[in-house]
């Protein structure tokens, strides 16, 4: 049983200078029309934009310079991320690689793997897809059936992964699978492999979402050969590795800023009678920013604040979802058809909001994580 | 200074553990005051923490006193700790001496010079020797020291049974009058931040009681916490409480001598909203037992229901915050949110 705590993390002058630098860059990009601000922009894939960020040193920010990183703090990365999302910039191409695959490789990868992957990710040239969920293993990842068998020089991977965001455009996937049969300990016998998605035996099919968009995929692995040097970490240690990967997934600014462009559009158009609602949303946003930064600070100190990270996501994603209702209650219906910008932000917020409380761990799973930490189950 | 802050909070915690058990809280309900506890506060000088060292204080800012105030709230201490701290700062900033005995504070509706006028309500006034009156005259903050001996006082309480006595100020003679070197706008913000910290303290204890209950109370052969509906409801409440704690700590850290407007408004709004949810969830979890006077829960939830409205309700602060946020472009809005938070 632990106490939940979100100690305040101050922002340094350097972090603030970085914020200005990122903001100026984004303003120039907008002026040059390289992107239009959008809600949920961390799902927008733009190779050219990712390469620009890589060239500026804003990918792999916290990694060692020896691997193409920039040795910035997690708090500085947090600040840059806030700026990208608040501006609604298209940061989806590199998102998974930069947020979780790279840190996983840095933590568990071999020297060769670090030298091969990390500089490419930091340049915005190498994109990763998540390889966790399966048709019969959604929230319950211990039910994963994909398996790899040892063969000469490597492993033969067979299985099927689903809900793979940008799997059809990514270069690699870290695939979580069984390497030994189900035993008494459901969490034993898993491993992670880095799979080249252009390998023979890999078939990628679109899963069209409710917006009619091809964003996620199902990926079939039919006896795909994975060389020994593309095992991530240790065979059999997959579950523990996966849990640490999830810690990076849950507490970032993408868990409360996905609909910031809509919130800003609402503020810009708000009348006197909207002030109370707007002020309440501002208070919630203030609080979430502190919570998220606090978790970044604790991760930076080497702690694993799993319950706090889960709370950021649970509280944050419900906040993201509520903004559209403030718009509905506060602005005339007609304004959502007559006003192009508002219409665009509103439509995206509504159509994507079901995913907010699902991706990266459903709210129900998160509450279970917190309940366990609090001794409530 | 953060070291002094932590030492004072620990001192307070020990003192409260000794002198503020549930029996003391209950004995003061309604309208009472924990005299022994207050004597210990005065002996230790905790109530002077925010005075300068020259004035016999510890030189803390009001923001730095938040952990101590939160500890008093965690014990539902029936003493005007927040009010005494704020009153002391006001007097010192106005160059007036801090008198002996219990001091509280109240806003007056009408300006005063030698005499006051109108009516006001003051926390714990019936137990206080003096009330520090304040009145905002534009940005100027007028301060006066009122001896409670010469005032007509009508006892009244808030929902928690804490004294919120009505003072009839017409022609009440003032012991001393001055102008505080503090922007008048800052005073309600200081008060709001103190109350927000108290709300966080009350939430902490409320959730401790709820957690204790659901992990030990057995129904249908299982502890209540084994029912997912029960545990998830409390997890949501813990999330609310944590969101409030994060906002209040940040508001304290970002405020220096002057309160940080955005942060303080956010903290009071978030704490009020969270505390409302926490109180509801805790009562639901504790069932009929938590609805009795015997159970300590109501000493916290009734304070929550009172404090969320004092020094500005969520709606009042949200209106101000919304006014400040409104009509900004997206870039301006984001700049306003982020640009002033370098601690």
Q: Do A261 and B319 touch (CB under 8 A)?
A: no
What pLDDT does B343 receive?
57
A-B C-beta contacts closer than 8 Å: 184
**Placement of tokens 């909001």 in the chain:** A353
CATH 1.20.1050.10 given to domain B186-338: no
- How far away is chain B from the Cα of A373, in angstroms, using its nearest Cα? 10
Query: Would the pLDDT of A1 be above 70?
Result: no
Check the CA dihedral B86-B88-B89-B90 and report its sign: positive
CATH number (1.10.10.60, 1.20.120.420, 3.90.180.10, 2.40.110.10) of A130-238 reads 2.40.110.10
The candidate with the shortest Cα–Cα distance to A45, out of A97, A82, A86, A101, is: A97
Other residues' Cβ atoms within 10 Å of the Cβ of residue A225: 16
Given this model, what pLDDT does residue B1 score? Answer: 53
Q: How many helices (H) and strands (E) does chain A have?
A: 13, 8
Placement of tokens 């099919």 in the chain: A205
**What's the residue count for chain A?**
377
ipTM over 0.85? The verdict is yes
Interface test with A, best of B268, B325, B336 (most A CBs within 10 A): B325
- Distance to chain A for B244, nearest Cα, Å: 7
pLDDT category, A263, cuts 50, 70, 90? Answer: very high
Contact B215, A371 (CB under 8 A): no
Q: B133 vs chain A: nearest CA distance in angstroms?
A: 30
Asked if B333's CB is within 8 angstroms of A286's CB, the reply is no
User: Which residues on adjacent β-strands are paired with residue B135?
Assistant: B142
Nearest CA in chain B to A278: B322
**pLDDT tens digits, chain B, 343 residues: what are they?**
578 999 999 999 999 999 999 999 999 999 999 999 999 999 999 999 999 999 999 999 999 999 999 999 999 999 999 999 999 999 999 999 999 999 999 999 888 888 889 999 999 999 999 999 999 999 999 999 999 998 999 999 999 999 999 999 998 889 999 999 999 999 999 999 999 999 999 999 999 999 999 999 999 999 999 999 999 999 999 999 999 999 999 999 999 989 999 999 999 999 999 999 999 999 999 999 999 999 999 999 999 999 999 999 999 999 999 999 998 999 999 999 998 887 5
Those residues with Cβ within 8 angstroms of residue B47's Cβ, 6 or more apart along the chain or in another chain = B41, B81, B84, B85, B88
Q: What is the DSSP letter of B125?
A: G
Whole-angstrom distance, CA of residue B116 vs CA of residue B171: 6
Q: With an 8 Å Cβ cutoff, are A278 and B328 in contact?
A: no
Q: What is the CATH number of domain B2-180?
A: 1.10.540.10
Which CATH number fits the domain A13-126, given the four candidates 3.40.1350.10, 1.10.540.10, 3.30.565.10, 1.20.120.140? 1.10.540.10
* Residue B22 C-alpha, separation from nearest chain A C-alpha, in angstroms: 23
C-beta atoms of A282 and B236 within 8 A? no
Distance, CA of B143 to CA of B111 (rounded, Å): 10
Distinct helix (H) and strand (E) counts, chain B = 11, 9
Instruction: Please say whether the beta carbons of B191 and B311 come within 8 A.
Output: yes
Q: What is the pLDDT of residues A154-194, one digit of tens each?
A: 999 999 999 999 999 999 999 999 999 998 999 999 999 99
Provide the greatest CA pair distance for chain A. Answer: 71
Q: Where are the domains of chain A?
A: 13-126, 130-238, 251-373
Domain A251-373, architecture per CATH: Up-down Bundle (1.20)
| pLDDT of A359 above 80 | yes
With both helix axes pointing from N to C terminus, report the angle between B228-254 and A306-330 in degrees, rounded to the nearest 10. 90
Contacts B193 to A, Cβ<8 Å:
none
User: What per-residue confidence (pLDDT) applies to A248?
Assistant: 72
* B239–A274 CB contact, under 8 Å: no
Looking at residue B217, its pLDDT comes to: 98
Mean pLDDT of A347-358: 97
Q: Which residues of A touch B215 (CB under 8 A)?
A: 375-376
* Other C-beta atoms lying within 10 Å of the C-beta of residue B4: 13
Average pLDDT over residues A335-363: 95
Contacts of B200 in chain A (CB under 8 A): none
Domain-wise residue ranges, chain B: 2-180, 186-338
Q: What pLDDT, in 10s, does the model give residues A295-323?
A: 999 999 988 899 999 999 999 999 999 99
Q: For chain A, what is the radius of gyration of the CA atoms?
A: 21
Cis peptide before B30 (omega within 30 of 0): yes
In tens, the pLDDT along A109-142 reads: 999 999 999 999 999 999 999 999 999 999 999 9
């Amino acid at each position: 049983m632990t106490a939940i705590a979100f100690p305040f993390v101050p922002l340094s002058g350097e972090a603030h200078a970085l914020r200005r630098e990122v903001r100026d860059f984004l303003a120039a990009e907008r002026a040059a029309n390289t992107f239009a601000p959008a809600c949920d922009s961390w799902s927008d894939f733009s190779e050219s934009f990712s390469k620009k960020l890589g060239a500026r040193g804003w990918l792999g920010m916290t990694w060692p310079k020896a691997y193409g990183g920039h040795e910035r703090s997690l708090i500085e990365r947090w600040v840059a991320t806030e700026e990208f999302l608040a501006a609604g910039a298209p940061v989806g191409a590199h998102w998974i690689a930069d947020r979780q695959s790279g840190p996983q490789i840095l933590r568990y990868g071999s020297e060769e793997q670090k030298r091969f992957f990390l500089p490419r990710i930091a340049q915005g040239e190498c994109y990763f897809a998540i390889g966790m969920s399966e048709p019969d293993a959604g929230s319950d990842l211990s039910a994963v059936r994909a398996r790899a068998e040892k063969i000469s020089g490597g492993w033969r991977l067979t299985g099927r992964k689903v809900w793979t965001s940008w799997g059809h455009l990514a270069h690699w996937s870290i695939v979580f699978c069984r390497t030994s049969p189900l035993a008494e300990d459901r969490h034993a016998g898993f491993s992670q492999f880095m799979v080249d998605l252009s390998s023979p035996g890999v078939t990628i099919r679109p899963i069209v979402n409710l917006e009619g968009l091809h964003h996620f995929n199902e990926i079939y692995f039919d006896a795909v050969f994975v060389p020994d040097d593309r095992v991530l970490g240790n065979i059999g240690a997959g579950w523990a590795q996966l849990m640490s990967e999830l810690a990076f997934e849950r507490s970032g600014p993408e868990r409360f800023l996905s609909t910031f462009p809509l919130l800003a559009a609402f503020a810009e158009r708000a009348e006197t009678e909207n002030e109370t609602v707007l002020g309440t949303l501002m208070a919630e946003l203030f609080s979430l920013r502190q919570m998220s930064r606090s978790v970044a600070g604790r991760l930076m100190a080497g702690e694993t604040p799993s319950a706090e990270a889960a709370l950021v996501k649970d509280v944050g994603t419900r906040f993201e979802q509520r903004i559209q209702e403030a718009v509905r209650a506060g602005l005339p219906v007609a304004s959502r058809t007559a006003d192009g910008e508002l219409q665009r932000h509103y439509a995206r917020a509504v159509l994507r909001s079901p995913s907010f409380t699902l991706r990266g761990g459903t709210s129900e799973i998160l509450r279970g994580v917190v309940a366990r930490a609090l001794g409530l189950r | 200074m953060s070291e002094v802050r932590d030492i004072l909070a620990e001192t307070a915690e020990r003192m409260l553990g000794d002198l503020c058990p549930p029996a003391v809280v209950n004995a003061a309900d309604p309208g009472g005051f924990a005299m022994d506890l207050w004597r210990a506060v005065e002996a230790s000088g905790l109530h002077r923490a925010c005075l300068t060292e020259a004035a016999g204080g510890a030189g803390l800012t009001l923001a730095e006193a938040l952990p101590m105030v939160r500890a008093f709230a965690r014990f539902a201490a029936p003493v005007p700790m927040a009010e005494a701290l704020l009153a002391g700062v006001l007097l010192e900033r106005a160059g007036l001496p801090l008198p002996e005995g219990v001091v509280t504070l109240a806003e007056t509706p009408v300006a005063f010079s030698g005499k006051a006028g109108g009516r006001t309500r003051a926390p714990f006034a019936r137990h206080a020797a003096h009330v520090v009156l304040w009145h905002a005259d534009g940005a100027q903050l007028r301060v006066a020291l009122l001896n409670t001996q010469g005032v007509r006082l009508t006892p009244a309480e808030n929902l928690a049974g804490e004294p919120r006595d009505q003072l009839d100020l017409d022609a009440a003679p003032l012991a001393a009058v001055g102008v505080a070197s503090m922007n008048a706008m800052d005073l309600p913000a200081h008060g709001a931040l103190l109350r927000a910290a108290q709300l966080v303290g009350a939430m902490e204890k409320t959730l401790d009681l709820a957690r204790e209950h659901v992990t030990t109370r057995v129904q249908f052969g299982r502890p209540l916490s084994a029912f997912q509906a029960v545990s998830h409801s409390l997890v949501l409440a813990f999330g609310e409480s944590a969101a409030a704690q994060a906002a209040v700590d940040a508001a304290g850290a970002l405020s220096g001598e002057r309160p940080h407007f955005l942060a303080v408004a956010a903290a009071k709004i978030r704490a009020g909203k969270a505390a409302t949810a926490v109180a509801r969830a805790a009562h639901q979890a504790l069932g009929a037992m938590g609805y009795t006077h015997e159970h300590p829960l109501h000493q916290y939830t009734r304070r929550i229901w009172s404090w969320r409205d004092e020094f500005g309700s969520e709606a009042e602060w949200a209106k101000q915050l919304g006014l400040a946020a409104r009509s900004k472009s997206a870039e301006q809005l984001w700049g306003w949110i982020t640009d002033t938070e370098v601690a």
